[in-house]
Structure 1
Amino acid sequence: MAKQTEEQKRLSENYSKKKDWLHWGPYLSERQWGTVREDYSANGDAWEYFTHDQSRSRTYRWGEDGIAGISDRYCNICFAIALWNGNDGILKERLFGLSGPRGNHGEDVKELYYYLDNTPTHSYMKHLYKYPQSEFPYLPLVDENKKRGKDEHEFEILDTVVFDNDNYFDVFTEYAKGNEEDILIKISVINRSKKTAPVYILPTLWIRNFWSFMDMEKKPSITKKKGRGNTGVFVSHPYVGDYNFYFDKASKLLFTENETNMERIYKSPNDHPFKKDIFHDAVLKNNYSLATKKNEGTKFSPLYKVNLKSGETHIVKLRLTKDSLANPFDDGFDAIFQKRQTESEAFFENLCSAKDGQLKSIQKQALAGLLWTKQYYNYDVETWLQGDPKEPTPPKERLTGRNSNWKTLRNHDIISMPDKWEYPWFAAWDSAFHCVTWALVDLNFAKQQLLLFTKEWYMAPNGQIPAYEWSFSDVNPPVQAWAALQIYKIEKRTGSEGDVAFLKRIFNKLALNFTWWVNRLDSSENNVFEGGFLGLDNIGVFDRSHGVPGNGTLEQVDGTSWMALYCLNMLEISLEIAMIDETYEDMATKYFGHFVFIAEAMNKRDLQYIGTWDDEESFFYDKLVFPNGSYIPIKVRSIVGLLSLAALLTIKKETLQKLPGFSKSMHWFREHRRSRLKYPVIQEFADGDDVLLSLVPRDRMAVLMRAFLDEGEFLSPYGIRSLSKVHETPYNINIDGVNYSINYEPAESTTRLFGGNSNWRGPIWMPINYLFLQAIKVFYEYSGDKVKLEFPTGSKNLMDLKSIGVEISKRLIKIFEKDADGNRPVNKLHAEKYRDEHFKDLVLFYEYFHGDNGRGVGASHQTGWTALVANLIEEIGS
């Protein structure tokens, strides 16, 4: 066994409760404005109710935001960087981007920043922000995107002139923990321009405002420390205790209160002038009389103004600690930083099996991004609906509006976010995929995170798991059981026996959720499921959640496939538990039986019922069923029809031998039920052998795999597309006199279904690709070299399934790799800039990728499920 690294020792100390290494972390959001939590409007227009323009002057209720920031786990005390280049109209305190309605493809952050390093206990973290030296192009970004249609690219900050001639600063923010309550901070600002340029650095410490909304026993404070000149303040907080904040000698100390500027926001008088935004006026107008008038407040910053020559670096050192230190920046400060950085390198070296240096760098940045996008998330729906004691009562319309039926939901946790700017709120199925990558770096967090969504303050009393804050009642694919198994297997690969107690906990809660699915989404009780949204946004010809044409019911292949997969996952979990607890053997039989009925319904074709398989075109299609019983197949060739391939399970012969009750049920099926099925779901069944369960019969599986591996359909040079390329010729269908259509769109969506920033009509999505690859692995483990397919289809190049899985993985990884000319496909739109010396090693992990050329599309920091590339690198490297 490899020697335990220092970071792994810290993880052990944390989870054994010897030391609370996770008390502090990168838990500060990157965007709190424009969220549902902060929306107290009558009409639910969150983007307009709390705007970016208001954010510098208006107090948040449910969290805080900043650049490269940290906080304690409940966001009581926050720290982040603020900057001014001498030209902007406001301080750069938070990242700018377009709201959903303003962006031509939905919400979109318009900044350049990168997560470079992070460890599971956040003992060392490194962040890079690139700050222009000229006026930040707020208006050009807004105006140009407003002009552009949905058939045009988003207008990004690299499309403006502000980074021309390298006229920008690289701002590196690093954190190192001396101990669990000693946070060392280093801000390094480098002038990349050929000219000398001024920069104002405001490392800002502030306290989240509770006192404006409810009573506190004592208001927190930040107070200048006596006898230290301009080098230290004292923080007192009734919830988290006292801290010392030390910093390099500053030219000025700025104090104010983290409170709303009522005059600017609401045109009403302020009770005092010390409001959240006074640092803006102080710096921009060079008038510090008000900001330096007090020596205490709830928002504070030391001020550093420097003129940097070309290539020059200025470093500011700071330290937030429980300890009282006479010399906080002695030789020990740099020694701790060096030690933690070395320990981080050792941790990732020990973790990563890839030998290639470029693959290691990609994997490390993917994992660093995942670690950075942890966020404190607070949302008590009942309080949000009713309002706070010291605030006006919210509009009555809210009591029947968004999320009003989720009064039991109370979020007060650290959660892995999809993207801390574009999606700074959890999405249930995103988080399940995140946990699979989390299992590589922090197994305990992965398990806790997955279990969190089944807690009684998350899961609804009826068993529904909340989807995401814009609509908790939307339906996301039920992938939690699948993720639990992936985590369990990853842990077993480390040599562990496997955490069966974890499986029990998640299984018991998911049994409630499974029942909710069955009762809610199989309205015809025929084991073919409707589902609705299912996370795939605009993949259909119409919005699958609302306004289904002809008052019909849409029987969805993906809804049914997800449920079949859910059945198999619950079956596999119950079998695993039953190996040590025989009481779960009956549950295995229950889920096996349910899977059989789903598979039968989906494949069936007789006088009583016709399933979703189309004999003419050899594909699974959604089916629109009208009230009179007639139906129309919706012949869209998409991953909706391919998801059936993911529902696979091999039951080992050793398992059948150890579980005679379950084995007896399988034999009963063979004798009494199998003969009635035209398309058997048990592919092969012989005493003493393994058994393969599959939603798709083998003959249909072979047909679907030909389409799956066809470069003219789903197989891209960069992975599996979400829509077949045959739809470059649009598919049209007329229903009740209305024409509906869909065409292959490899990148940005041209329809506003679900906001238009999410597109499943052609691009490559990492989580679905990963799901397919795991299914291919299951089939290979069962069939071995006996099954070989053409790769690609039509090439006459026969390969076994394991080799095919490796080749698809390599195509996905290639999205982030440099080619011989130094270009990464992900950066295709700005390839020249990313060949630059100070850009070439930086990688962004986008939400999804162009179906033909691999460039990044959608949210630019979607490190959540796109971090699965780290798993792919690990799997092909090991």
Structure 2
Amino acid sequence: MGICDDQQRVCLSLGLWNGQDEILKERFYGLSNAQGNHGEDVKEYWHYLDALPDGRYLRALYRYPMAAFPYQELRQRNSVPGPEIKLLDLGIFDQDRYWDVEVEYAKPEPTVVAGRITVTNRSGEAAQLHLLPQVWLRNTWSWNPPRSPQAQLHAEGAELHLQHPELAGYRLQVGGDFAWLVCDNETDNQLLFGAPGLSPYPKNAIGDAVVSGDPSRCNPERTGTKAAAHFIFELGPGESQVVRFIWSDRQGYAPGQVDGLCLDGRRAADNFYAAVSPDNGDADDLLIQRQAFAGLIWSQQYYQLEVARWLEGDPAGPPPPPERLTGRNAAWVGMEAADIIVMPDSWEYPWFASWDLAFHALALDPIDINLAKQQVLLLLQSRYLREDGQLPAYEWN
């Protein structure tokens, strides 16, 4: 439930820890085709509640169990023929032992993002939750020398400052009582490959620091390319807590304004959907339609694929196998994608599919005809078409 700029240079999202899991919850979990008996299948529960087509307002809800997430049990029980086993089937939500995590983003100006994260204890007992709004820079510096990043994040007080050649003056202002954890958006080569690491503070350092309780896993200088504001909440039954932040290159904004900015965004969404919805529509049907539109809008992602570069391999990694040069996409060396695309699904299909994109365009037409046209025309550009005029079907062809 994160966002990024239109070139995915800077990403904002959140991490969670219930005090029980072995890892930080930073992405939704699911099974691959090889792991499950139901194909690729996500095993989490989240809901896209609202969104404006231009992204000025976004709202979504995630339900995070208080007990240890049953990663291994889900893999084991879905590895044999039989009915699909869902997370709800394992009783992990019994007695309402879960957290509601609602995320809102509002944009009063193009370069200003107001964020609000509301966590609510839905159980009948007190519980602890670690909440981490996170910012990281997409690793583009590994592609070509010089390999060192040309951008940095540095935490000072309640602010995180960005130094970037293209995004000058941006900062994250966070309200409340928290601690900064900062590391580098670099793979932990020592952990994964037994090879020397590129940084003493790789990208899993924040998760390690939270789960182990040892903040020394992160950079004590609070400088790097990935950062998190670490909150720890003790909440009673039904109790809520709110985290507010502002990401902007402008002066005059502060976390204390977030509630008003989010309220303005929600009102703008109400007015927009009132104008595009039938006057005599059933209230429940209109809410379903509005959330369906929200799903389309939330599923927009930045997608980058340079086939020629992919065939040659990443300069920072080991060379690809020779058969790659004659395998899939070998005839598509001219394709260079770097665009915002409405994806079929933000988890299972985070890549374009031309047959689905045509249906997305039809569904988008009532709320944003220009976006609908742009999505169809995208596949007809020279950057996507093959020399013989063939359209790409999806990432594998």
TM-score, length-normalised on structure 2? 0.97
Whether the 8 Å CA contact 1:104–1:145 is kept in 2: the answer is yes
1:243-282 to 2 correspondences below 5 Å: 243-282=170-209
Q: 1:220 — aligned with what?
A: 151
Task: Return the letter of the residue paired with 2:141.
Answer: W
Whether the 8 Å CA contact 1:250–1:302 is kept in 2: the answer is no
Q: 2:240 — aligned with what?
A: 313
Q: 1:287 — aligned with what?
A: 214
Superposed CA offset, 1:791-842 (max 9, x none): xxxxxxxxxxxxxxxxxxxxxxxxxxxxxxxxxxxxxxxxxxxxxxxxxxxx
| Residue 77 (1) aligns with residue 5 (2) | no
Whether the 8 Å CA contact 2:244–2:258 is kept in 1: the answer is no
| Residue 106 (1) aligns with residue 39 (2) | yes
| Residue 387 (1) aligns with residue 287 (2) | no
Q: Cα gap change, 1:432/1:452 in structure 2, threshold over 3 Å: closer, same or farther? A: same
Larger strand percent: 2
Task: Return the letter of the residue paired with 2:245.
Answer: L
Whether the 8 Å CA contact 1:102–1:145 is kept in 2: the answer is yes
Q: 2:324 — aligned with what?
A: 398
1:658-807 to 2 correspondences below 5 Å: none
Residue 290 (structure 1) shift:
3.0
Whether the 8 Å CA contact 1:197–1:307 is kept in 2: the answer is yes
Task: Return the letter of the residue paired with 1:342.
Answer: R
Task: Return the letter of the residue paired with 1:468.
Answer: Y
| Residue 423 (1) aligns with residue 334 (2) | no
Q: Cα gap change, 1:182/1:174 in structure 2, threshold over 3 Å: closer, same or farther? A: same
Whole-angstrom distance in 1 between the partners of 2:275 and 2:334: 43
Superposed CA offset, 1:447-502 (max 9, x none): 11100111111111112111111x31xxxxxxxxxxxxxxxxxxxxxxxxxxxxxx
Q: CA RMSD in A?
A: 1.4
Q: 1:117 — aligned with what?
A: 50
Q: 1:162 — aligned with what?
A: 92
Q: 2:223 — aligned with what?
A: 296
Q: 2:249 — aligned with what?
A: 322
Task: Return the letter of the residue paired with 1:430.
Answer: D
Whether the 8 Å CA contact 2:186–2:198 is kept in 1: the answer is no
Whether the 8 Å CA contact 1:256–1:276 is kept in 2: the answer is yes
Q: 2:378 — aligned with what?
A: 452
Whole-angstrom distance in 2 between the partners of 1:239 and 1:467: 33
Whether the 8 Å CA contact 1:186–1:315 is kept in 2: the answer is yes
Q: Cα gap change, 1:195/1:279 in structure 2, threshold over 3 Å: closer, same or farther? A: same
Q: 1:94 — aligned with what?
A: 27
Q: 2:120 — aligned with what?
A: 190
Match of 2:282 among 356, 359, 364: 356
Aligned residue for 1:127, secondary structure, equals strand
Whole-angstrom distance in 1 between the partners of 2:60 and 2:180: 25
Q: 2:137 — aligned with what?
A: 207
Residue 236 (structure 1) shift:
1.8
| Residue 236 (1) aligns with residue 167 (2) | no
Q: Alignment length, in residue pairs? A: 395
Could you list the runs of 4 or more consecutive aligned residues of structure 1 that deviate by over 6 angstroms after TM superposition?
Answer: none
Residue 392 (structure 1) shift:
3.3
Task: Return the letter of the residue paired with 2:18.
Answer: N
Match of 1:129 among 62, 80, 89: 62
Q: 1:365 — aligned with what?
A: 291
| Residue 413 (1) aligns with residue 339 (2) | yes
Superposed CA offset, 1:76-126 (max 9, x none): 100111000000010001111001111112111110000000001111100
Whole-angstrom distance in 2 between the partners of 1:292 and 1:156: 39
Whole-angstrom distance in 1 between the partners of 2:55 and 2:289: 17
Superposed CA offset, 1:750-799 (max 9, x none): xxxxxxxxxxxxxxxxxxxxxxxxxxxxxxxxxxxxxxxxxxxxxxxxxx
Whole-angstrom distance in 1 between the partners of 2:176 and 2:234: 16
Match of 2:391 among 459, 465, 474: 465
Whole-angstrom distance in 1 between the partners of 2:345 and 2:287: 21
Whole-angstrom distance in 2 between the partners of 1:302 and 1:146: 38
Q: 1:139 — aligned with what?
A: 72
Aligned residue for 2:366, secondary structure, equals helix
Aligned residue for 1:289, secondary structure, equals helix
Amino-acid identity (%): 38
Whole-angstrom distance in 1 between the partners of 2:110 and 2:287: 28
Whether the 8 Å CA contact 1:246–1:319 is kept in 2: the answer is yes
Residue 388 (structure 1) shift:
3.4
Whole-angstrom distance in 2 between the partners of 1:102 and 1:392: 27
Question: Which stretch has the larger CA shift, 235-244 or 106-115?
Answer: 235-244
More RCO (CA 8 Å, sep 6+): 2
Whole-angstrom distance in 1 between the partners of 2:70 and 2:251: 43
Residue 271 (structure 1) shift:
4.2
Q: Cα gap change, 1:392/1:461 in structure 2, threshold over 3 Å: closer, same or farther? A: same
Q: 2:369 — aligned with what?
A: 443
Whole-angstrom distance in 2 between the partners of 1:181 and 1:450: 27
Whole-angstrom distance in 2 between the partners of 1:214 and 1:194: 54
Larger helix percent: 1
Whole-angstrom distance in 1 between the partners of 2:219 and 2:131: 16
Q: Cα gap change, 1:392/1:316 in structure 2, threshold over 3 Å: closer, same or farther? A: same
Whole-angstrom distance in 2 between the partners of 1:160 and 1:460: 48
Superposed CA offset, 1:528-561 (max 9, x none): xxxxxxxxxxxxxxxxxxxxxxxxxxxxxxxxxx
Residue 445 (structure 1) shift:
0.8
Mind listing any 5+ residue stretches in structure 1 that lack a counterpart? 1-67, 473-878
> Which has more radius of gyration?
1
Aligned residue for 1:242, secondary structure, equals coil
Whether the 8 Å CA contact 1:253–1:292 is kept in 2: the answer is no
Whether the 8 Å CA contact 2:125–2:236 is kept in 1: the answer is yes
Task: Return the letter of the residue paired with 1:349.
Answer: A
Whole-angstrom distance in 2 between the partners of 1:288 and 1:390: 29
Q: 1:22 — aligned with what?
A: none
Whole-angstrom distance in 2 between the partners of 1:123 and 1:153: 41
Whole-angstrom distance in 2 between the partners of 1:202 and 1:333: 18
Aligned residue for 2:170, secondary structure, equals strand
Q: 1:476 — aligned with what?
A: none
Whole-angstrom distance in 2 between the partners of 1:271 and 1:384: 22
Whether the 8 Å CA contact 2:42–2:347 is kept in 1: the answer is yes
Task: Return the letter of the residue paired with 1:207.
Answer: L
Whole-angstrom distance in 1 between the partners of 2:219 and 2:196: 22
Whether the 8 Å CA contact 1:126–1:173 is kept in 2: the answer is yes
Residue 408 (structure 1) shift:
1.2
Aligned residue for 1:440, secondary structure, equals coil
Whole-angstrom distance in 2 between the partners of 1:329 and 1:280: 25
Residue 292 (structure 1) shift:
5.2
Aligned residue for 2:242, secondary structure, equals strand
Mind listing any 5+ residue stretches in structure 2 that lack a counterpart? none
Whole-angstrom distance in 1 between the partners of 2:122 and 2:219: 32
Q: 1:335 — aligned with what?
A: 260
Whole-angstrom distance in 1 between the partners of 2:349 and 2:230: 32
Whether the 8 Å CA contact 1:248–1:316 is kept in 2: the answer is yes
Superposed CA offset, 1:687-723 (max 9, x none): xxxxxxxxxxxxxxxxxxxxxxxxxxxxxxxxxxxxx
Task: Return the letter of the residue paired with 1:300.
Answer: A
Aligned residue for 1:350, secondary structure, equals helix
Superposed CA offset, 1:648-701 (max 9, x none): xxxxxxxxxxxxxxxxxxxxxxxxxxxxxxxxxxxxxxxxxxxxxxxxxxxxxx
